[in-house]
Amino acid sequence: MKKIGFIGTGVMGTGIINNLLKANYNVSIYTRTKSKADPLIQKGATWYQDPKQLTENVDVIFTMVGFPQDVKDVYLDETKGIFQALKSDQIIVDMTTSTPTLAKELGEKAEKIGAECLDAPVSGGDVGARDGKLTIMVGGSEKAYQELEPIWKIIGQSYHRFGTYGAGQHTKMANQIMIAGTMTGLTEMLVYAKAANLNLQDVLNTLEGGGADNWSMENYVPRILKGDFKPGFFSKHFLKDLRIALEESEKMGLDLPATKQAKKLYETLVDEKGLGNDGTQALIKLWW
């Protein structure tokens, strides 16, 4: 059984790590603030003080951090980065939603030393990570993808390799474009239904049984109705994703007006209102 290293113990990372520990994997972890990793250490995870030391002691390194710059820091730091210790018999897997360009850079750099590399962003939020029901979108090495299938089965309910380096990230951008539409739709649905003096729980129950049903509505509207804006997925990270999606769209000569409008709304929520640490469902706060 492979020794696993996992860098990033946020909402999503913690759920994934817990499932790997339950499956009796040897898991080593790194996070910038050790105290945040204490619950995982108590469950059997081993903590290392930097990405380089972690890399020296495992077979596969997973990363799930916040922003593309964080990915660069973890992998490419000239003293403590993963590439300072990466060897030809290891696999690196970046599960951060990042840029296809950076995924390609990491993959080509790994190739030069004979290591295998995957970009493998996920969808499913905190619930999917907790329950081992993530959707995993993979780009990169076919060999590594097949080799890690036992792990995909533990942490995900579906997984697919879409092509070479960056293909996983492109697929995640397609996913986020779709989510942008469902989030604005469910928000405006609630705004409209409330203005019409309808019982919002009854509206939700009815819509879940018809053509308007979708994952975001099922998972986030109940939280909104309870006043629960804790992040299953941070608004600031979703805004980052929308910006990446639109940057990539421009490179391909595409105009995506609905996604642009969603980005503007989340910019208001995150940049103007300062609510980037709320979950994506906090978009309703622009009206309520």
Nearest of 45, 127, 144 to residue 90 by alpha carbon = 144
Q: What is the 3-state secondary structure (H, E, C) of the chain?
A: CCCEEEECCCHHHHHHHHHHHHCCCCEEEECCCHHHHHHHHHCCCEECCCHHHHHCCCCEEEECCCCHHHHHHHHHCCCCCHHHCCCCCCEEEECCCCCHHHHHHHHHHHHHCCCEEEECCEECHHHHHHHCCEEEEEEECHHHHHHCHHHHHHHEEEEEEEECCCHHHHHHHHHHHHHHHHHHHHHHHHHHHHHCCCCHHHHHHHHCCCCCCCHHHHHHHHHHHCCCCCCCCEHHHHHHHHHHHHHHHHHCCCCCHHHHHHHHHHHHHHHHCCCCCCEHHHHHHHCC
Q: How many CB atoms lie within 10 A of CB 79?
A: 7
- Catalytic-residue membership of 172: yes
Residue among 104, 172, 236, 263 flagged as catalytic: 172
Catalytic center residues: 172
